Amino acid sequence: MSIDSLPPLREVIQRHELMAKKSLGQNFLLDLNLTGKVARQAGDLKDQTVIEVGPGPGGLTRALLAQGANVIAIERDERCLAALQEISDHYHGRLRVIAGDALDTDFSALANGSKVKIVANLPYNVGTQLLISWLLSEPWPPFYASLTLMFQREVAERIVARPDSDAYGRLGVLAGWRTEAKITFDVPPQAFTPPPKVTSSVVHLVPRVAPLACDAAVLGRVTQAAFGQRRKMLRQSIKSLGGEALLAKVGIDPTRRAETLSIEEFVALANAL
């Protein structure tokens, strides 16, 4: 049984000629049971405002609406707008579509003072950049109550990575510092149209109420320098930020490499800068 009485997504795609474009990271989810499962990871959505990036033909959007959310969706591909208008009409205006680029969008202004949930099957080419901008939001706690996001499995592993692993890097430090992040489930390539080359994963991130005190922008700079040359010793990789002298201030051995530092140690370095 369908989650709504709207036409199947394959028909919508055909009628509106929405052939997927690689340049826009378009891998569509057409199974409404699966989009329903993604939406459920965000918790109770009844009367919640959800911001969705890249609704495309609207598979995830329909699941969010069916679960009671009010949705603000930002889509860059103008070809999708007519299909999305049909969904908006069906749900009597509970869907507001913004035609534009998510990278130029002021998300906290869209939230307009209420706590929103962000839910998206992100275009792979801008997903990491968007996540970092949400993690570096000011003020903190941020304008969102949670982020429920589909990434390539390899990116999802970097988000939840712990020290001393190959996946641990800037993304793991920033996500672990400010949020509790977990991978909730994997989605195989064949679930998408067209299928991507790799497995995807849904990641759910909940902001920590009181992360260790630190200037987000400075931590961003420290992690960028340290992991920019991750195979090098820290005295070399963060030379431009003070190198050995800075490391001595917080008692970190200058011959260590970035991937061995805990989040607490990165925060201490940023605070010493």
Residues that bind ligand SAM (CB under 6 A): 24-29, 53-56, 59-60, 74-77, 80, 101-103, 121, 123, 126
Residue nearest to ligand SAM (CB): 54
Residues with Cβ within 8 Å of 93's Cβ and at least 6 positions away in sequence, in order, are none
For strand 144-152 and strand 116-121, is the pairing parallel, antiparallel, or unpaired? parallel
Q: In whole angstroms, give the CA distance from residue 218 to residue 9.
A: 45
> Cβ(122)–Cβ(54) under 8 Å?
yes
Q: Which is nearer to ligand SAM, 133 or 236 (CB)?
A: 133
Q: Which is nearer to ligand SAM, 122 or 270 (CB)?
A: 122
Q: In whole angstroms, give the CA distance from residue 144 to residue 136.
A: 12
**Distance of closest approach, residue 138 Cβ to ligand SAM, in angstroms:** 22
Q: In whole angstroms, give the CA distance from residue 209 to residue 78.
A: 38
Query: Is 27 among the annotated ligand-binding positions?
Result: yes
Residues with Cβ within 8 Å of 17's Cβ and at least 6 positions away in sequence, in order, are 79
Query: Is 54 among the annotated ligand-binding positions?
Result: yes
Phi, psi torsion values for 52, nearest 5 degrees: -115, 135
**Distance of closest approach, residue 244 Cβ to ligand SAM, in angstroms:** 41
Q: Which is nearer to ligand SAM, 6 or 74 (CB)?
A: 74
Three-state DSSP state, 49 = strand
Query: Is 251 among the annotated ligand-binding positions?
Result: no
**Distance of closest approach, residue 27 Cβ to ligand SAM, in angstroms:** 5
**Distance of closest approach, residue 43 Cβ to ligand SAM, in angstroms:** 19
**Distance of closest approach, residue 32 Cβ to ligand SAM, in angstroms:** 10
Q: Which is nearer to ligand SAM, 149 or 261 (CB)?
A: 149
Is residue 138 exposed (0-12), middle (13-18) or buried (19+ Cβ within 10 Å)?
exposed
> Cβ(156)–Cβ(134) under 8 Å?
no
Query: Is 68 among the annotated ligand-binding positions?
Result: no
Q: Which is nearer to ligand SAM, 64 or 225 (CB)?
A: 64
What are the binding residues for S-adenosyl-L-methionine? 27, 29, 54, 75, 101, 121
